[in-house]
Structure 1
Amino acid sequence: MDRIADERPLSQEAATRGAVRVHAPARLHFGFLDLHGGLGRRFGSIGLAVDAPSIDLTARPAAGLRVDGLEAGRARGYAEAAARHLGIAGHAALQVDQAIPAHAGFGSGTQLALSVAAALAALDGRPFSPDAFADALDRGNRSGVGLAAFTQGGLIVDGGRDASNGPPPLIARLAYPEAWRVLLILDEGMTGVHGTREVEAFRDLPRFPEAQAAEICRIVLMQVLPSVATAEPEGFGAGITTIQRLIGDHFAPHQGGRYASPAVAEALAAIAARGVAGYGQSSWGPTGFALLASEAEAQALKADLERPGSLRFVIARGRNSGASVTRL
């Protein structure tokens, strides 16, 4: 277990404060709406908050800043940034008991940063604006899905960034049907494109074809969103798969193919051969997913695909609420 500490005398006021627990969902990023940007806005995203994996952390008053548990180094950095943003001392003992895998396509950085900041704000009795903090950290610099997953949950569409470079506006949010499931396919032996490689990819890729951006927007507006609103899983899945094909092929030169992980790609091919309508890769991967209409379908597919190897399969639900902050 990692531990990073910075001890200072504990004030009497701080010592009387109670503990705070934060639980936050991961998010899946299904694709960009408009990488062409000819209408003045670029990117635009569609994604989903899911109940697994998730972040679970507690914060208690302490003489200084101490961070224990999973992702302690990253959590420490976010805690320091949050204290500066909130204008507080940031004296707290943070314990991260559950963490979202880093660089796996789940938006772990945004969720961890917001969770830590929310915990420190609640512990200090300060108001906290996730939007303002995300903007200050430049989290969600291309997609607003992670921020909306933290604040609201559900199926999310954002409107991309304009020339002002402000946060992407939330333009649609629908409750994900409670019966539906997502089979997650995790390749724990690799990470997706991130950091400098991600910046270089967006810099070096050719401009996205305008006609394909228009097709994606049409699919989202006239197929994906109506299918969720009417709980029609086949139309939803087929729409997401088409978006995945168009976006995945565009990014293929920088991730080694339509999908980043050969093992995940093999599993997705098997899923397609079984007639599943919706499947793909979240963000830069390597995590893949299959969209199923019920728990029974998800369990049957999981049992069919599981075998010794590098992949792990997890059944998740869409989460229709954002992060929870609870005083203990």
Structure 2
Amino acid sequence: MQFRHQKVSVTAPARLHMGFIDLSGALGRHFGSIGVALNEQATRLTVTGSDRRSVAGPSAARAEKCLTRLCEALGVSDALEIRIESAIPEHVGLGSGTQMSLAIGAALNAFYGLGLNVRDIAQVTVRGQRSGIGIGVFEQGGLVVDGGRGEHTATPPLLVRMAIPEAWRFILVFDRRGQGLHGLQEIQAFQALPLFPRREAEQLCYLLLMQALPAIAENDIARFGEVITRLQRSVGEHFAAVQGGIYTSPEVASAMQWLAEQGAVAVGQTSWGPTGFCMVNGADRAAALIEMAERKFAAGGTLAFSSASARNSGGLVAVE
């Protein structure tokens, strides 16, 4: 097969999954999600032609699996050299699996000139089975809302895409010890969950449409944060029985409570965690809070803190 390009480089941004908006399925659609792309955490890799298969760098084992699945499904050679410059940490709630799959798929698509779009790649790699946030942020970045899964859904449709104000910052709280539920554990957890109240799902959708989204348009971080904290509390309480509480990590829970007391908003856990997140207005405010938090929670050595900005553009594919 002729190569369209000799070298393809891809950047796939991490994402925060801020919660599901309809776990009831009362209208025949399940899940529906809200989330945002991040700048500072990303999977970056380069694909070049080779006479043999070679994969090196962080998360190489995951990349090997993605490459095998994609090459078999697309009918292309895996005689490639893949160099992974950076990889989103696995199973901490930042969308590492979806972004690795889309990054390698996008690289193969450009390298071989296959003419696929992002959703074609997502279907081949079986991404978006519940949330479409990872697909949406790779496509466009920013804040995205997907429409969940209906009877005939291939991948959750993108309903809303908005740019996050440049000054808004996220504070991420990592638990160095553990990982969130994933794989078979995640599937079993969803099966074990009780029925989500329809009235609660209706309230969350109402708050999202008539409060959170207008707040982004009007640069109102406090009002936006109120809705995300409310949504996170509702979903966290629903998942508590299978993840050990509203937060997977008690240490992260303590840090998130403290950050809220200092004035942070949009407080919650991304996906199954254990990573927590919150928001403040301004990079200086984020840096000051992180410095205080590192001093306060240093004794346990369990937690790590970092600041992140929203990425208002999608994945990047560069060819040579």
**TM-score, length-scaled by structure 1:** 0.93
Identity %: 44
Residue matched to 2:214: 226
Please give the alpha-carbon distance, in whole angstroms, between the structure 1 residues aligned to 2:130 and 2:158. Answer: 13
Match of 2:314 in 1: 322
Taking the TM superposition and a 5 Å limit, the aligned residue runs for 1:80-91 are 80-91=68-79
Amino acid in structure 1 at the alignment position of 2:256: L
Partner of residue 18, structure 1:
6
Cα shift at 1:119:
1.1
Q: How far off its partner does 1:310 sit?
A: 1.4
Offset of residue 275 of structure 1: 2.5
Gaps of 5+ in 1: 1-10
Q: For 1:225 and 1:195, how far apart are their aligned partners in 2?
A: 32
Residues 65-100 of structure 1, C-alpha deviation per residue, up to 9 Å, x if partnerless? Answer: 210111111101111222233321132100111000
From 64, 75, 81, the counterpart of 2:63 = 75
Pick the aligned partner of 2:54 from 66, 73, 79.
66
Corresponding position of 1:254: 242
For residues 129 and 321 of structure 1, the distance between their equivalents in structure 2, rounded to whole angstroms, comes to 16
In the other structure, the counterpart of 2:34 is 46
Q: 1:195 aligns with which of 157, 175, 183?
A: 183
Letter in 2 for 1:311: L
Of 199, 202, 219, 1:214 maps to 202
Q: Distance in 2 between matches of 1:87 and 1:128?
A: 13
Counterpart AA for 2:313: S
Q: CA deviation at 1:47?
A: 0.4
AA matched with 2:311: R
Residue 169 of structure 1 aligns with an amino acid whose one-letter code is P
Q: Answer with 16-25 or 258-267: which moved more.
A: 16-25
User: How far 1:327 moved relative to its partner?
Assistant: 2.1
The 8 Å contact of residues 185 and 311 in structure 1, kept in 2 or not, is answered as yes
Q: Supply the AA of the counterpart residue of 1:135.
A: Q
Structure 2: 5+ residue stretches without partners: none
How far apart, in 2, do the equivalents of 1:41 and 1:24 lie? 28
Answer yes or no: is 1:289 the counterpart of 2:277.
yes
Residue 43 of structure 2 is aligned with which of 26, 40, 55? Answer: 55
Instruction: Give CA deviations for 1:106-162 in whole Å, capped at 9, x if unaligned.
Output: 110000001011112222233232101212222110011000111110100001101
| d(CA) in 2 for partners of 1:64, 1:110 | 26
Tell me if structure 2 keeps the 8 A contact 1:85–1:133: no
Q: Distance in 2 between matches of 1:165 and 1:128?
A: 18
Alpha-carbon distance in structure 1 between the residues aligned to 2:101 and 2:193: 29
Q: 1:100 aligns with which of 81, 88, 92?
A: 88
Distance 1:20 1:135 in 2: 21
Pairing 1:174–2:162 present: yes
Structure 1 residue 17: Cα displacement: 4.5
TM-score of the superposition, structure 2-length normalised?
A: 0.95
Report if the CA contact (8 A) 1:49-1:153 is conserved. yes
Asked if 1:300 is matched to 2:288, the reply is yes
| Secondary structure of residue in 2 paired with 1:306 | helix
Amino acid corresponding to residue 46 of structure 2 in structure 1? T
Q: Distance in 1 between matches of 2:200 and 2:5?
A: 54
2: CA distance, partners of 1:324 / 1:129 = 13
Q: Which letter does structure 2 place at the counterpart of 1:141?
A: Q
Query: Which stretch of the first structure deviates more once superposed, 159-168 or 66-75?
Result: 159-168
